[in-house]
A and B are shown apart, each in its own frame.
Chain A
Amino acid sequence: MKPMEIPTFQPRLKVLNRDQTLAIHAAALEILDKTGFKMEHPDAREILVDAGCRILNNDWLRMPSYLVEEALRSAPTQITLYDQKGNKTMPLANGNFFYGTGSDATFTLDLETGDRRRAVKKDVGNFARLVDGLENIAFAMSMGNPEDVPIEYIYVYVFAEMVKNTNKPIVFIADSGKDIAKIYDIACQVAGSEDALQRKPFILNYSEAISPLRFPENVMERLMFCAEKKIPVCFPSGSNAGGGAPVTLAGAMALGIAENLVGLVVHQLVGKGSPFLFGPNVSTLDMKSSVVSYGCPEWSLTQAALADMRDEIYGLPIWAFAGASDAKVMDAQAGAEAMFSIITALLSRSNLIHDVGFLEYGSTSCLEMVTMANELISMSRFFADGIPVTDQTLAIDAIERVARGEPGSIFLTDDHTFENFMQSLFLPQLLDRSRYDSWKSAGAMDFYNRCNLEAKRILSEHQVVPKPDEVLKRINEILQNL
């Protein structure tokens, strides 16, 4: 008899119907054609006008829809990031999802004291090393704006620090065309050459316009630099509901998408076919504290909606966030908010998911939080894999063996259990299921404490494959000549 072959349904989240996606897209096009946008980079303005944009006044331009259509046609539907050793680790396409940390936190929770303090360069290195040692964290971002490096070249220093402490792909930030060129130099040293970096990019630049509809010169400088050099880039403006954008989520999405499309059009005009990761950041401005929330359900909802728009309209891999919180310490709120965004980002198959490990609405980084998220991602991944239904998993034979077997037959001793339990069940590493007495005698530790110990263990035991001396020497030369 032929074995049963039923494809396994993998749970997916859908939050918009087709008509809704088309209406939001149409609104974005209307914003660009009627309201226009403020393009402050003279070259970008000229390129856009040459391509068919019309001048409203001064640096305000209007964009006809056909430019958007053309850019969507030329942008690649798949972006592949490699690790720093040239292995293909992050094919951003279809239903693939990858989690990573975030950038630019002012503070960090000290691993030893638990106190909130200013981030220093060593923290950036520690986060990169932790990422390197965690199975479910696929890429690194700086997680800190260290106070002990020269602020003019802060992004070059944090990039060098990440390169020294991880071999995973890096999502990086730059300030202008000046520092991004230095970062690019470092990346070329790591990859071996400019050509090697273009063929197997391990970097992706994060850049953002200012909502509503403002495109500063330094931001466009970076975007055009990446387009020319074919460095993968994302361009999510902060069109947060009630802050940079209208308070209603549909309008905030339309605005954020419009801003993304301007970026995409300039990007494709400068570097046709260069990789562009699509998607705005649509969170909310908290109506009491006026912070941009990192734990709200709205951000998860809008990025799930964006995933639907990707599937219906854009066809480009998308940018997202998860595993962050507005809580000030890694408490129950932090766990609840982190899990909410992690599982929804996964269920909507967002492709590149950043900000894992943030507390305090992105102002504080937390090593324990990244460690916790690693486990929550495992749990979510297990859920999203669904339930394979085959002869082997239906296990009729095992049922018969145990039910009708010798007295004392139990599933735990059956071969079927031994052969299948590792694949069939989620086996937690840090989530505690021990019996009360053993939990108590092991120190009665809560989740935060267990994550603290695990983060410390990884930082002390995990060996990052070091870069060749020659490469390190050249990186240090670049830093010295800044």
Chain B
Amino acid sequence: MSDIKALNEAVIKGDIQTAVSLTQNAVDAGTKAQEVLDQGLIAAMDQVGDKFAKGEMFVPQMLRSAKAMQECLKLIKPQFQEGDLTSKGKVVIGTVKGDLHDIGKNLVAMMMEGAGFTITDLGVDISADTFVQKVQEVEPDILAMSALLSTTMPGMRETIETLQKAGIKDKVMVMIGGAPVTANFASEIKADAYAPDAGSAVIEAKKVLGIS
């Protein structure tokens, strides 16, 4: 148990090497993978999320913690049966057509991954059809779209309309964000959630899925 606490601390500190070796120790000592995941990794990332929200941690530190978690996860993954590994939810994410900016989108993807979501990152310049095709393929809980340029915002509306035409708008929560995007625009185009930045993206994602 003390190892789990140390693992918890290592993840919060972003000490990848220590976190990985503590995870390996726990696995070798026969600790249940679910316990390592829940109490060691996800609990640590919850704390990281809190600290970040309070301004006690900086973005690179938070991302390092997320990376530490991912590295540890690789070690315990084989112990789970296919589909057994609990995830907060599946997210398909991308920057809309005509927009090649990806810093904000990447940040959202990494923070959501750190918070326990499974991410399918489609990249930048993604057309409405591609978004919809991927939603059909991956069946995510959330479709997240980003735009930095105001001229590319209509791509979000188009994607939602294409989802409607395909009859799957109700099967996925659509979340949008990016510098020119506003809450009003989100409700205007019938998106389910809007997040002004990466930190609130995680909070909003949990909110629309009804999880803590």
By a beta-carbon cutoff of 8 Å, the part of chain A in contact with chain B is 104, 106, 118, 145, 151-152, 154-155, 175, 210, 214, 216, 218, 242-244, 247, 285, 287-291, 363
Contacts and interface: CB of A to CB of B under 8 A. Distances in A.
Contact of A287 (B58, B100, B103): B58
Interface string B145-162: 000011101100000000
B150 A145 contact: yes
Nearest to A216: B100
A153 to B, nearest CB: 9
Contact of B151 (A154, A242, A289, A290): A154
Given A106-B179, A106-B182, A288 B150 contact: no
B100 A210 contact: yes
Given A175-B149, A247-B60, A290-B198, 20 more contacts: A104-B150, A106-B179, A106-B180, A106-B182, A118-B182, A118-B184, A145-B180, A154-B151, A155-B151, A210-B100, A210-B101, A216-B100, A242-B60, A243-B103, A244-B103, A285-B59, A287-B58, A288-B58, A290-B197, A363-B179
Nearest to A155: B151
Contacts of A285: 59, 103
A151 B59 contact: no
B107 A290 contact: yes
A477 B163 CA distance: 37
Interface string B167-191: 0000000000001101010000000
B30 interface: no
Nearest to A38: B100
A464 B103 CA distance: 42
A130 to B, nearest CB: 22
The A interface, classified by DSSP as helix, strand, loop or mixed, is: loop
Interface string B71-105: 00000000000000000000000000010110110
B151 A288 contact: no
Contacts of A363: 179
Given A118-B182, A216-B100, A290-B198, A151 B154 contact: yes
Contacts of A175: 149, 151
Contacts of B210: none
A364 to B, nearest CB: 12
Interface in B95-130: 98, 100-101, 103-104, 107
Contact of B150 (A106, A218, A243, A291): A106
Contacts of B58: 287-288
Given A244-B103, A289-B197, A290-B198, A152 B179 contact: no
Most-contacted residue by chain A among B104, B154, B180, B184 (CB, 10 A): B180
Report the interface size class on chain B.
20 to 34
A155 B151 CA distance: 9
Contacts, number: 46
B59 A288 contact: yes
Nearest to B149: A175
Contacts of B184: 118
A145 B182 CA distance: 12
B150 A287 contact: no
B105 to A, nearest CB: 12
Contacts of B103: 243-244, 285
A66 B180 CA distance: 40
Nearest to B111: A290
A270 to B, nearest CB: 22
A312 to B, nearest CB: 31
* Interface pairs A-B: 6 shortest CB-CB: A287-B58, A145-B150, A175-B151, A106-B180, A216-B100, A287-B59
A242 B180 CA distance: 21
Most-contacted residue by chain A among B98, B100, B184, B198 (CB, 10 A): B100
B126 to A, nearest CB: 15
B95 to A, nearest CB: 11
A288 B198 contact: no
A285 B154 CA distance: 27
A151 B182 CA distance: 15
Most-contacted residue by chain A among B59, B149, B184, B197 (CB, 10 A): B59
B151 A152 contact: yes
Given A151-B154, A244-B103, A287 B180 contact: no
Given A289-B197, A363-B179, A154 B60 contact: no
23 contacts: A106-B150, A106-B179, A106-B180, A106-B182, A145-B180, A151-B151, A151-B153, A151-B154, A154-B151, A210-B100, A210-B101, A214-B100, A242-B60, A285-B103, A287-B58, A287-B59, A287-B60, A288-B55, A288-B58, A288-B59, A289-B197, A290-B198, A363-B179
A287 B37 CA distance: 28
A218 B152 CA distance: 12
A40 to B, nearest CB: 8
Contacts of B98: 218
Contact of B104 (A118, A288, A290): A290
A210 B105 CA distance: 14
Contacts of B149: 175
A181 to B, nearest CB: 16
Contacts of B153: 151
A92 B65 CA distance: 48
B100 A151 contact: no
Contacts of B104: 290
